[in-house]
Amino acid sequence: MVVVQWRFHWRDLFRNIKGYIAWKVLQVALTFYSLTYNIHMSQSYVVDCLLEPIFWFVDNFAGYLGKVFVFCVTFLTTAVVVIAYWLGLPYWWERSPYMTVFLVLFGNWLLLNVAFHYYMGVTTSPGYPPDGALIAEAASICKKCISPKPPRTHHCSVCDRCVLCMDHHCPWLNNCVGYYNARYFFLYMAYMVAGVTFIIMAGFDLGYQVLWVNDNGGITHENDPELIGHPVRLNRSGVFVPVQVIAEYDADHSPRVHDLPIPVITEAQRITANPMKRKAVVFMTVMCLSVFFALGTLTILHARNISRGETSIESHINATLRKTHTKHQFRNPYNCGRIKNWKLFLGLTQGRTFLRHVLMPSPHPPNGTGLSWHTVNNAIEDWP
């Protein structure tokens, strides 16, 4: 008789489990590869696929979101300006009336430029290729519009049409940034950054006093306007009557108390003591600092693109071309040197000046039509 004896080995068990898991992983991988295999598969293809839902969302809802964004920008900017007047004006007036006048004038000059460039950025059409007209230098055909595309023109999927010298579609403007409104867009950003920098500098001491120095410390029992007339007991000391009442008693009973110093309440202390005003200071701090860093970075990036004679779209395309080509093979044809690039971008030709046409609101259009472009290969002498 044969006795069959089962022997249990831990090692076998682990080997079996490992084999089973490996087989399952292989099955999943095989299924995944067989479903997604594509000869063009690359890292950027995968990234494009993963971003597809975001593109879909932007394509379908950016139109509605744009209006909400424009409302938010207008509302928040107005709130910041109103608070700057509400808190800043009495604060600065107490310190120096002359300085207050200067700050009001300077601040309103910035505000005028912010409002003008934002309004123009929102309402100015970026420029579209003309329907049916002959385009002398069509660079390609738009697959979506089925019409010729002038150089530097790109198709905006949000606007669903081709845009001249397209930079990007800006939800904050609810508009495409292109040939006719790029200057407004850039100057809006620059003036907005200048504006928040101005508020941060003018309100720095006030914010510091309210949020740091005075926080629970600046208003004492002697000068708290809410406690005047109400006796208070501090820890184990005797009952203490806030100062105005002491002064009143003093007139009737004891002349000695006249010598008590009457505390001076500063505007910063008054603001700290008022919960609404204190919240407004916190709001201003958060708003101004976040706009400063976010918009400041964007302004620097756009300024770099302008210096190079590129739009945002071209900066991506050219970055790829620079990687795949040598210096001799690739050169941005629209880069005419830093100074000329800036002059063309700001429209400072035909006798226009920085003082009048950049520091002051100016509705001048850019040179040319946006349909054909001077390139560094053209004769540069006959440029405007």
181 or 209: whose CB is closer to Zn ion? 181
Q: In the bound complex, what is the minimum distance in angstroms from residue 65's beta carbon to Zn ion?
A: 13
- Written as six digits, the tokens of 339 are 């100074």
Catalytic hit among 162, 170, 288, 336: 170
176 or 206: whose CB is closer to Zn ion? 176
135 or 142: whose CB is closer to Zn ion? 142
Q: In the bound complex, what is the minimum distance in angstroms from residue 307's beta carbon to Zn ion?
A: 24
Q: What is the DSSP letter of 169?
A: E
181 or 214: whose CB is closer to Zn ion? 181
Number of separate helices (H) and strands (E) present in the chain: 11, 8
Q: In the bound complex, what is the minimum distance in angstroms from residue 115's beta carbon to Zn ion?
A: 23
Query: Looking at this protein, which amino acid is placed at residue 172?
Result: W
Nearest to 336 by CA among 326, 328, 344, 346: 344
Q: Angle at which helices 43-83 and 97-123 pack, to 10 degrees?
A: 140
Distant-in-sequence, close-in-space partners of 221: CB < 8 Å, separation ≥ 6: 227, 232, 234, 240, 242
148 or 195: whose CB is closer to Zn ion? 148
Q: Angle at which helices 338-346 and 182-208 pack, to 10 degrees?
A: 90
Q: In the bound complex, what is the minimum distance in angstroms from residue 177's beta carbon to Zn ion?
A: 8
**Which residues here bind Zn ion, judged by CB under 5 A?**
142, 144-145, 155-156, 158-159, 162, 169, 176
52 or 160: whose CB is closer to Zn ion? 160
Nearest to 77 by CA among 198, 175, 231, 192: 192
**Contact by Cβ (8 Å): 199, 86:** no
Known active-site residue 170: yes
User: What is the rounded CA–CA span in Å between residue 79 and residue 81?
Assistant: 5
Largest interatomic CA distance in the chain: 125
Q: In the bound complex, what is the minimum distance in angstroms from residue 303's beta carbon to Zn ion?
A: 22
Q: In the bound complex, what is the minimum distance in angstroms from residue 154's beta carbon to Zn ion?
A: 8
158 or 344: whose CB is closer to Zn ion? 158
Q: In the bound complex, what is the minimum distance in angstroms from residue 158's beta carbon to Zn ion?
A: 4
**Contact by Cβ (8 Å): 79, 273:** no
Q: E-assigned strands of the chain?
A: 140-142, 147-149, 154-156, 161-163, 168-170, 175-177, 232-233, 239-240
- 3 state SS of 156: strand
User: What is the rounded CA–CA span in Å between residue 112 and residue 287?
Assistant: 20
Residues annotated as catalytic are 170
